[in-house]
Amino acid sequence: MNLATRYLGLDLANPIVPSASPMTREVESLERLEEAGAAAVVLPSLFEEQIEHETMAINAALNFGAEISAESTEGYFPEMDNYNTGAGDYLGKLRAAKDVLSIPVIASLNGTTHGGWTLYARVLEEAGADALELNIYIVAADADQTGAEVEAEYLRLVEAVRAAVHIPLAVKIGPFFSSMGNMATQLTEAGADGLVLFNRFYQPDIDLELLSVEPNLVLSTSDEMRLVLRWMAILYGRVGASLAATTGVHTVEDVVKLILAGADVTMLASALLRYGPELITSLLDGLSGWLDERGYESVNQARGSLSQLSSPDPKAFERANYMRTLVEYSSKV
Ligand SMILES: Cc1cc2nc3c(=O)[nH]c(=O)nc-3n(C[C@H](O)[C@H](O)[C@H](O)COP(=O)(O)O)c2cc1C
């Protein structure tokens, strides 16, 4: 079975790509992912706050003497030390990944504001990244800011990073836009070669013992893939960017559905953290088997065949589906 696909202009052996997570942090697990069949990997993100912290620390040391402690610089967030210890460490990991892997390595930048830190994209390009994923993780909590202003921030950020690099650029976004299709088009016009749908916003929880607000990361389940499935199907063939699916991809069925909806690649984090890199081998076997049984010759042939453009029931992706769902449920009771 021909599983080859193209993402961000890169020719990939298949549509399975581990997304940014601790699973893609160390060279040993990256090698296991490649061995299991991963077609490319996305490294964990380097965060705007980390870059700014290091830049401030360097400036402080240059201006006032080397005895100034990095830890005392405003904006330091030590909890990140366990995940990703900063820009220097990040470049070392990126170079090591490039040395040992033959599949494409996608570096990731994660931030929200248009600023000097975006120039770091060029440093990642120079360190050998085959492509860059820009994760714009904005929780639009300022009630004085309009939706149009929030969207303008996204676009300025994409334009700034686009201007800094020549390698392909993917933009990872959340689903919370008033007009997702229009935003997808605008992001593409601003320079995104690919869109990664969707960021999973981690919801804080309240600890009733400590009476404090706590971060609470729960791994995803396949059910969460449906939101991605809908927008994949609606956007396929309508934007000039590659489309990657992230959130809730766990099983062969999830991968197949997303390809039928229009995904160029499907990305996994939670499932790999739960089952290990070897899951990829069984997903690839299952995908080949499924396509073969239905008479498809390749992933490319199957892609988009149930997108909104090709579906015999295009309204099923919109409001009509909502009404039908309610009617069908009440007729079961
Ligand atoms: C522990 C953990 C760490 C993650 N770190 C990053 C990161 O550094 N950058 C990023 O863009 N996404 C990060 N993600 C998000 C994943 O790449 C992915 O988009 C998200 O988990 C949804 O996919 P899933 O349902 O397969 O987990 C992380 C996810 C997990 C679970």
Question: What is the full per-residue pLDDT of the chain (333 aa) written as tens digits?
Answer: 999 999 999 999 999 999 999 999 999 999 999 999 999 999 999 998 888 877 766 666 656 554 444 444 444 455 566 666 678 889 999 999 999 999 999 999 999 888 888 889 999 999 999 999 999 988 889 999 999 999 999 999 999 999 999 999 999 999 999 999 999 999 999 999 999 999 998 888 999 999 999 888 889 999 999 999 999 999 999 999 999 999 999 999 999 999 999 999 999 999 999 999 999 999 999 999 999 999 999 999 999 999 999 988 888 888 777 777 888 887 888
Cα radius of gyration (the chain): 21
Q: pTM of the full predicted structure? A: 0.91
Distance (angstroms) between ligand 1 centre and the Cα of 52 equals: 22
Establish whether the linkage from the previous residue to 198 is cis, with ω within 30° of 0. yes
Gap from CA of 333 to ligand 1 centroid (Å): 38
Which amino acid, one-letter code, is at 129?
A
- What the chain holds in terms of domains, given with CATH numbers, is 5-304 (3.20.20.70)
Number of residues that make up the chain: 333
Query: What is the number of other CB atoms lying within 10 angstroms of the CB of residue 65?
Result: 8
Nearest CA to ligand 1 atom 13: 20
CB-ligand 1 contact for 266 (6 Å cutoff):
no
Concatenating the DSSP letter of every residue in 218-257 gives ----GGGHHHHHHHHHHHTTTSSSEEEE-SS--SHHHHHH
Q: How many Å lie between the centroid of ligand 1 and the Cα of residue 220? A: 10
Residue nearest to atom 17 of ligand 1 (CA): 20
Q: Is the CB of 277 under 6 A from ligand 1?
A: no
CA of 320 to the centre of ligand 1 (A): 32
Of 118, 126, 208, 205, the C-alpha closest to 158 is 118
Q: Which ligand 1 atom is nearest residue 246's CA?
A: 23
d(CA 141, CA 89): 32
Q: Is 8 left (phi over 0), alpha (psi -120 to 50) or beta?
A: left
